[in-house]
Chain A
Amino acid sequence: MHMLTLIGVLVVIVGFALRVNPLLVVTVAGIATGVAGGLSPVTIVSEFGRAFTENRYMGLVWLTLPVIGLLERSGLKERAQELIGRIKSATTGRVLLLYLAIRQLTASIGLTSLGGQAQMVRPLIAPMAEAAAEARYGELPDKTRYHVLAHAAAVDNVGVFFGEDIFLAMGSVLLIKGFLDENGIHLTPLHIALWAIPTAIAVFIIHGIRLLLLDRRLKKQFQDHQA
């Protein structure tokens, strides 16, 4: 065991900072770590292949792209804009706040598959968040538009991360239980899940306030523009 095995971490930080092709950076970091850790070249390459295959599930989101493309060319975004524009009280922050609440609540009862970046954010939530701002302020400058879209993606992550841990059968709760069991501490899943609730409430307040501040910032930005 050696500090030298941290070389991979260094490669990643430097490579990402210099904006070199991330695929190349990660591959070089993996090889460097393996060599520093004393693994043979065959083991390193095999480990790459094994983990890449085992994690193919991460690539399944791309399956939705043909459908999303079809929806886009048929005017889904334009329709979402029209509908949101009709709801006078709808703002970007409020739309996202509502989705945050739904995402956290459904995840906390185990319904994590109800949302997701490919399933919900790209086809529905992001266009609605964008449309809510456009209905008020007209076409958004690119920078603002990207910021709103990034917020739409962030809400899904925040909601699911800090909602799912309240659900008893979730992987993370079972992992905590399993690891403590191995170390001679026996707890029920309920006992662990219960202590995820304070953080869940805290994150809803923190991120909720940030979403409402986003509304205020948008308003200010466009008032200044017009004035």
Chain B
Amino acid sequence: MIRLEYIYILGGLLFCTVAVLEFLDRANAKRLRKTLFWGIYGITFLFGAELPSFVTGCLVIIMVLVTGWKDLGTSKVKTTAEPERRQSAMRLRDKLFIPALCIPAVTFLGTLVLPEIVIAGKPLAVAKDATLVSLGLSVPVALAVALWLFRQRFVTSLHEGRRLLTAVGTVAVLPQLLAALGALFAAAGVGQVVAASVTRFIPADATFLVIVAFTVGMALFTMIMGNAFAAFPVMVAGIGLPLIVHKLGGDPAIMGAIGMLSGYCGTLMTPMAANFNIVPAALLELPDKNGVVKVQIPTGLILLAVNTLLMYLLVFRF
């Protein structure tokens, strides 16, 4: 059985390799801090399951302190220049797409197939982890295909990995840190405070205002928590069930579905949902880390208005 933990170990090996490459590059600015940063990140992947939470927490805080007041900056890694790339593109032609397509194709097939293959009473991958396990497996497959088709050396891929990972920079760990912040928000009861202050301001019999408070509240609260799933239980318990369903007689399925989708409008508009919004900006090497959020805000706002209207028109009719 392929456990998700094995894929994390693969990730840990990559981060530790980057740490070593950062260390070996003597011309590298802030060399030791970069080594420490990626090394600790690698350790949390390699040994995350064994380390006590408190130890991991300490490691994470050290890792953050190492980055300092400003970011660590990118490392210069040699790669090909444009004329060389154009030449290579002419030579390899459509072969170039094969490894690129390997990643989604293997991820997709693996997600479907791995949980179905049962060996000694256990599936090759548990259904809930199948996508992540398959994504992890797709990388060595695509890498092997690329190395073979392009006649490149394995070390080259490691240097390229370092080039791109340091271009992403320390922001790479932000999604996990924000998830930790969300957990602390939940533990400290931030949700209840927000829900209580929202409900205090709306008259419970002004139907339209109640709907607006619910959909806009879902979006705002999602923007704060970075996650609609965290906002949903709080807002539904605060407004959705007591006011829309029980008091005003609205349909619970419509309240739930459109309520959740109003939260998703919030997800489009917040840097707190870093794995959706900051990660792609980093992956695409945009100088403005909020570039993706900014493009999504108009759609998020218009759709939130549409959702509010849909909820108002539908929820009392079915």
Interface residues of A (CB under 8 A from B): 1-3, 5-6, 8-9, 12, 16, 20-24, 26-27, 29-30, 33-34, 36-39, 42-79, 82, 111-124, 126, 146-147, 149-154, 156-158, 161-162, 165, 171-173, 175-176, 179-180, 183, 185, 187, 191-196, 198-199, 202-203, 206-207, 210
Contacts and interface: CB of A to CB of B under 8 A. Distances in A.
B175 interface: yes
Contacts of A3: 193, 197
B53 A49 contact: yes
A165 B257 contact: yes
Contacts of A150: 281, 284, 286, 291-292, 294-295
A51 B152 contact: no
15 contacts: A21-B67, A34-B184, A64-B142, A71-B100, A75-B88, A113-B134, A119-B138, A124-B100, A149-B286, A150-B284, A150-B294, A150-B295, A157-B268, A157-B292, A158-B296
A29 B181 contact: yes
Contacts of B253: 187, 191-192, 194-195
A171 B258 CA distance: 15
Contact of A210 (B182, B189, B298, B314): B298
Contacts of B67: 21, 23-24
B254 A195 contact: yes
Contact of A67 (B139, B168, B314): B139
B35 interface: no
A212 B129 CA distance: 38
B184 A121 contact: no
A78 B314 contact: no
Nearest to A16: B271
Chain B interface, DSSP helix/strand/loop, else mixed: helix
Give the interface centre of A54, A60, A77, A111 by most chain B CB atoms within 10 Å.
A60
A59 B176 CA distance: 8
A49 to B, nearest CB: 3
The prevalent SS among residues of A at the interface is helix
A115 B85 CA distance: 26
Interface string B43-63: 011001101111111111101
B161 interface: yes
Contacts of B15: 62
B94 to A, nearest CB: 7
Given A16-B271, A150-B281, A172 B104 contact: no
Contacts of A111: 108
B229 A175 contact: yes
B68 A21 contact: yes
Contacts of B161: 65-66, 69
Nearest to B300: A158
Interface in B267-318: 267-268, 271-272, 275-277, 279-281, 283-284, 286-289, 291-292, 294-296, 298-299, 302-303, 306-307, 310, 314
